[in-house]
Amino acid sequence: MTLLSTRAANPDRAGSLAHRTRARRWTELLRTFPDLAEMRVLDLGGTPASWRAAPVRPAQVTVVNIDPGVAGDPEPDVQFLAADACQLPALLPGVEFDLVYSNSLLEHLGGHANRARLAEVVAASASHHWIQTPYRYFPVEPHWLFPGMQWLPFQVRVQISQRWPYGHIRPGGRAKAIRDVAEVELLSATEMRAYFPESDLWFERFAGLPKSLVARK
């Protein structure tokens, strides 16, 4: 990882932008759900490791991620399910949760239909939720850490992805770059409100500018 990406994007590095952002987000999450330690949480798209490092551990967490490689070692209060979060209800019949949590998954689902399905899963799985996604109109694209990349033509974004070494997504060949660029679709506040019409929309800010969106209920 380059020096720039380490300083800016590594959430485990104290003082990094990602570390400060995560700390502020946790403060707001705990303000919204002060009884988090007593809740049964369904995490869509997360990792067990993120909950092991969390400042507050819920009573029970079920993590759903399509990548089985992030499972890690099993723990009594953190369960892992390798599955598609958009197809979840049939896989957890009769299981009840207090809170659905999702961090930076919504922009990776591959189009409106899948985002709508995820919103249905969220509504059906618990009475409360916290769904975060990067804001389309923040001036720096968060996956590549490239200014304004999300507003450029597709071909230009592919060329950037092939060469730009500073973000979470590593450079590679053209085929990889096409897949990476096609897979990321940042959302506007209008879209977020449409998917979660009964939620309060919180704008997470950096330097006064909205950086990400959180639909919470």
Whole-model pTM over 0.85:
yes
pLDDT of residue 41: 97
Question: Among 16-25, 57-66, 174-183, which stretch is predicted with the lowest mean pLDDT?
Answer: 16-25
Q: Is the pLDDT of residue 145 over 90?
A: yes
The answer to whether residue 196 scores a pLDDT higher than 50 is yes
Query: For position 53, what pLDDT does the model report?
Result: 87
pLDDT surpasses 50 at 216: yes
pLDDT, tens digit, for every residue of 30-63? Answer: 999 999 999 999 999 999 999 988 999 999 999 9
The residues spanned by each domain of the chain are: 3-137+185-216, 144-183
Return the pLDDT at 148: 97
Residue 23 pLDDT class (50, 70, 90 cuts): confident
Counting other chains too, the contacts that 195-199 makes at CB distance below 8 Å and 24 or more residues apart are 195/106, 195/115, 195/116, 195/118, 195/119, 196/119, 196/122, 196/129, 196/131, 199/129, 199/131
Distance CA 13, CA 78 (A): 24
* pLDDT tens string 83-127: 999 987 666 777 889 999 999 999 999 999 999 999 999 999 999
Cα distance between residue 24 and residue 187, in whole Å: 21
Topology annotation, domain 3-137+185-216: Rossmann fold (3.40.50)
In this predicted structure, which of 8-17, 24-33, 85-94 has the lowest mean pLDDT?
8-17
What is the per-residue pLDDT for 1?
A: 43
Question: Which structure tokens are listed for 57?
Answer: 């551990």
Confidence at residue 10, expressed as pLDDT on a 0 to 100 scale: 53
The Cα angle at residue 42 between residues 39 and 43, in degrees rounded to 5:
120
- β strands within 59-120, DSSP E: 60-65, 78-82, 99-103
Q: Which amino acid is at 124?
A: A
In 10 A of CB 96, how many CB atoms? 10
**Alpha carbons 150 and 139: distance in angstroms, whole number:** 9
Least confident of 10-14, 126-130, 136-140, 181-185: 10-14
